[in-house]
């Protein structure tokens, strides 16, 4: 079938781009010529931290890419036709979004809506869809409440936008990047905290009169922010642990405080397996209609041959003021 450029994780912190044969399709799959793919925070936990690696090294080509966009060039799936442009969201364990051609099961891609927006904008629907899914899976009426979002990567920024849209009275956000916090203000954050220089705990106390926020989203996934999350929530408050864990080992928890505060907490995973992919379709609609402007997130794009450099920048984004780092296959 010809050759394609394909990435491969060969060790923790090391990816390469190689040339391999374009793979054959199985029934129920489509072959997609990739246009772009984005690096997710969960990719960084796998590639740069070695957490949740599902394969022996060297890993399968394209792994763990699961945020993609491209055009179907061959179909063995009902309802999906050659020539259609689609958003792809495979399970990371079998994801091939970092390859020039990717095989995707029929349930893990949806056609793009009509839109004059660049493909890079519509690609952001994968990450936005995971947040919509989490909010649907664990609904909470936050009208008039004070909420906090720890982490303002793309997922945290989408949480900020959707929580403000849902009626949060005040949103306090934290991150290590002033560039991300600047976008937070555009997305509805009322108080922005650079956790490198300021204490989130002190500022939450000041804003809430010492009681803590009503609802908190942890969108980082690091052990220290997981432990810290219980500090910022009021008695009978609620936590959403959204960030994928950055370690495979058990994480210690401040359960005494969690217990005494009578907190409620939830986590969510597996948006790609939602029936009908309705959350990803809603994300595409929000972007295509202009209800959310994702252009501030699109900071750095690398050619696929520079996948290793892209991963390292996404892992250490602050000096370069990076937000969402993507790769392209032009």
Pair of tokens at residue 302: 């690398």
- The one-character DSSP state at 230 is G
Angle at 182 between CA 180 and CA 184, to 5 degrees: 70
- The one-character DSSP state at 237 is E
User: Per-residue pLDDT for 315 more than 90?
Assistant: yes
Ordered strands of the 170-175 beta sheet = 191-194, 170-175, 146-150, 213-218, 233-241, 264-267
Distance between CA atoms of residues 71 and 73, nearest Å: 6
Per-residue model confidence as pLDDT tens digits over 152-195 = 999 999 999 999 999 999 999 999 999 999 999 999 999 999 99
Per-residue model confidence as pLDDT tens digits over 110-151 = 999 999 999 999 999 999 999 999 999 999 999 999 999 999
pLDDT score, position 49: 95
User: Per-residue pLDDT for 1 more than 80?
Assistant: no
pLDDT score, position 319: 87
DSSP 122-160: HHTHHHHHHHHHHHHHS----TT-EEEEE--SHHHHHHH
Per-residue model confidence as pLDDT tens digits over 50-109 = 999 999 999 999 999 999 999 999 999 999 999 999 999 999 999 999 999 999 999 999
- CA 153 centroid distance within chain: 8
Distance between CA atoms of residues 96 and 5, nearest Å: 11
pLDDT score, position 27: 97
Q: What is the mean pLDDT of residues 281-298?
A: 97
Q: Which domains, ranges and CATH numbers included, belong to the chain?
A: 3-127+277-328 (3.90.180.10), 139-267 (3.40.50.720)
CA distance to 89, 179, 280, per residue, from 108 (Å): 5, 32, 10
First to last CA, the chain: 19
- Return the CA Rg of the chain: 20
pLDDT score, position 93: 96
Coil vs helix vs strand at 18: strand
pLDDT score, position 256: 96
Distance between CA atoms of residues 294 and 117, nearest Å: 10
Percent of the chain predicted with pLDDT > 90: 98
pLDDT score, position 326: 98
Distance between CA atoms of residues 180 and 88, nearest Å: 26
Per-residue model confidence as pLDDT tens digits over 208-259 = 999 999 999 999 999 999 999 999 999 999 999 999 898 999 999 999 999 9
pLDDT score, position 325: 97
pLDDT score, position 51: 94
User: Per-residue pLDDT for 301 more than 90?
Assistant: yes
pLDDT score, position 219: 98
CA distance to 36, 100, 145, 314, per residue, from 118 (Å): 11, 19, 35, 22
pLDDT score, position 87: 98
Distance between CA atoms of residues 148 and 267, nearest Å: 16
Q: Which residues pair with 147 in a beta bridge?
A: 171, 215
User: Per-residue pLDDT for 318 more than 90?
Assistant: no
User: Per-residue pLDDT for 277 more than 90?
Assistant: yes
Is there a contact between 38 and 15 (Cβ–Cβ < 8 Å)?
Answer: no
pLDDT score, position 12: 97
pLDDT score, position 188: 98
């Amino acid at each position: 079938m010809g050759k394609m450029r394909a990435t491969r994780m060969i060790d923790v912190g090391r990816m390469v781009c190689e040339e391999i044969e374009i793979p054959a399709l199985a029934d129920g799959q489509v072959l997609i010529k990739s246009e772009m793919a984005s690096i997710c925070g969960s990719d960084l936990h796998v590639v740069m931290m070695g957490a949740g690696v599902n394969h022996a090294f060297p890993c399968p080509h394209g792994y763990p890419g699961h945020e993609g966009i491209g055009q179907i060039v061959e179909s063995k799936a009902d309802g999906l036709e050659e020539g259609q442009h689609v958003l792809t969201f495979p399970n990371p364990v079998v994801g091939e979004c970092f390859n020039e051609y990717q095989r995707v099961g029929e349930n893990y891609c949806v056609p793009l809506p009509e839109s004059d927006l660049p493909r890079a904008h519509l690609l952001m629907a994968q990450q936005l869809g995971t947040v919509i899914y989490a909010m649907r899976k664990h609904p909470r009426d936050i009208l008039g409440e004070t909420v906090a979002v720890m982490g303002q990567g793309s997922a945290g920024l989408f949480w900020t936008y959707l929580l403000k849209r849902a009626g949060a009275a005040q949103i306090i956000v934290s991150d290590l990047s002033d560039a991300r916090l600047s976008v937070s203000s555009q997305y509805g954050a009322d108080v922005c905290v650079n956790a490198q220089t300021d204490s989130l705990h002190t500022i939450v106390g000041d804003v809430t009169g010492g009681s803590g926020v009503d609802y908190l989203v942890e969108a980082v996934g690091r052990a220290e922010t997981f432990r810290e999350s219980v500090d910022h929530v009021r008695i009978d408050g609620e936590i959403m642990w959204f960030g994928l864990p950055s370690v495979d080992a058990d994480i210690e928890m401040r359960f005494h405080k969690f217990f005494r505060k009578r907190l409620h907490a939830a986590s969510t995973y597996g948006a790609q397996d939602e029936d009908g992919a309705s959350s990803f379709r809603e994300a595409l609609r929000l972007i295509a209609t202009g209800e959310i402007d994702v252009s501030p997130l699109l900071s750095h794009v690398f050619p696929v041959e520079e996948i290793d450099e892209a991963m390292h920048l996404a892992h250490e984004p602050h000096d370069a003021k990076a937000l969402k780092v993507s790769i392209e296959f032009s």
